Amino acid sequence: MASSGETGQGRPSARKSGKERALPLTVSRKELLAGGNDHAFRELVHELFAFLARHEEIRSGHARFIGLRGIEYTVLISIAHLAAYGDVNVKTVADHLHLSGAFITTVTSRLAGEGLVDKASDAADGRRVRLAVTDKGYALLEKLAPVQRQVNDVEFGSLDRVDFDNLLEIVRKLVDSSSQAVALQKYLLQVAE
């Protein structure tokens, strides 16, 4: 049952209290406004937050199933995935996951310490470290796969092929534009100080 002030779907209902205060717009692009307000945009942001929180919970569950932390699992499966396209090094993984090389170096060192990843000097460029998932690492990913498939199929079960292709394209665009937004926010915060 919805609590007072909520609709049956967990969304706030319109309340008329005689003294309503209009919040400032959080976006100004006309493409993001509906009827001159940003309510739909705010709902999108909050729905994305809810999805990402649940997805992080799922990622952490996958990791726990094979005795790893969430980021360790993500780096391990990313190395395995990227190996299908060629040599993998710290920069390859960092670029793929949009994380710093220093952070990936730390995580891959932990994975190497657990015997899940091999780290070797690149013959062509001694400054680079080549990464490869070990047999032990692949065994963990194979152990996880049946559970992972079931969970992922349910998590994304509401999408048909067209939805999936559109979502992938949209998310790629959002990753790029959010990187620009992070840089802008850092700049604006520095200017404000």
Instruction: Show pLDDT as tens, one digit a residue, over the chain (193 residues).
Output: 444 444 445 555 555 556 778 889 999 999 999 999 999 999 999 999 999 999 999 999 999 999 999 999 999 999 999 999 999 999 999 999 999 999 999 999 999 999 999 999 877 777 788 999 999 999 999 999 999 999 999 999 999 999 999 999 999 999 999 999 999 999 999 999 8
pLDDT at position 1 is: 43
Give the CATH number of domain 58-151.
1.10.10.10
Alpha-carbon gap, residue 36 to 22, rounded angstroms: 12
pLDDT at position 4 is: 45
* DSSP H or E segment with residue 111: helix 101-113
Count of H-run helices and E-run strands, the chain: 6, 2
pLDDT at position 168 is: 97
Show Cβ contacts of residue 170 under 8 Å, excluding neighbours closer than 6 positions: none
pLDDT at position 127 is: 78
pLDDT at position 14 is: 53
Residue 115: left (phi > 0), alpha (psi -120 to 50), or beta? left
